[in-house]
Amino acid sequence: MEFFEYYLKQEISTAILVLVVILSRKVVSKLVKRYATASQIIEKRTNLVIKYINILITILASITLILIWGVQTKDIFITLSSIATVIGVAMFAQWSILSNITSGIILFFSFPFKIGDVILIHDKDFPEEGEIEDIGAFHVTLRTNTGELVIYPNNLFFQKGISVIKKPTNNSNEFTD
């Protein structure tokens, strides 16, 4: 009996944390979906953003859980420094992936252009004009006037100037200027 009383505070705190995580995931999911619907953003992109936010919530909950159960600070720092070293070495080689994911999330919320828009990428060496066919977590797919499929990493949309030339009308495939 004494064992259960000793850990009662941690057990109650853990239960509350689980409820907060479940509720926050549902609330965030509904808010992002409402935002996406109002902004006419496709479901695939919405689900990606919800997935990334849920990963962040899980990481924060894990850190909180470690603190609730009183893991020694020294042990936490040793573990985190080891994990950070491994991740740092791996991410140094793959930094552009993280950059593209972050850019994809920013593009989701700022939405300067949408699927179906015809855009011009102001690149000094390789200017490109095309219709946006897809906006994914890592890249944007363009279809040029000649039918060529061009894939641009998301992070380049923050490094190059972009002009939206034509936007599709709401009810047809016709474009407006």
Q: How far apart are CA 136 and CA 126, in angstroms?
A: 22
**pLDDT 10s digits, 48-65:** 889 889 999 998 998 888
Which of these, 75, 27, 73, lies nearest to 53 by C-alpha position? 27
- Answer whether 0.75 is exceeded by the pTM: no
Q: How far apart are CA 44 and CA 131, in angstroms?
A: 18
**pLDDT 10s digits, 86-139:** 776 666 655 667 777 778 778 777 767 888 899 998 888 888 899 999 888 788
Which of these, 64, 66, 62, lies nearest to 74 by C-alpha position? 66
10 Å Cβ neighbour count for 121?
19
Note every long-range contact of 65-68, with CB atoms under 8 Å and residues 24 or more positions apart, other chains counting: 65/14, 65/17, 68/10, 68/13, 68/14, 68/17
pLDDT of residue 124: 84
pLDDT of residue 92: 62
Lowest-confidence segment of 21-25, 104-108, 145-149 by average pLDDT: 104-108
- pLDDT band at 19; cut points 50, 70, 90: very high
**pLDDT 10s digits, 6-16:** 788 888 999 99
Quick one: how far is CA 72 from the chain centroid? 32
Q: How far apart are CA 119 and CA 132, in angstroms?
A: 7
Contact 65, 20 (CB under 8 A): no
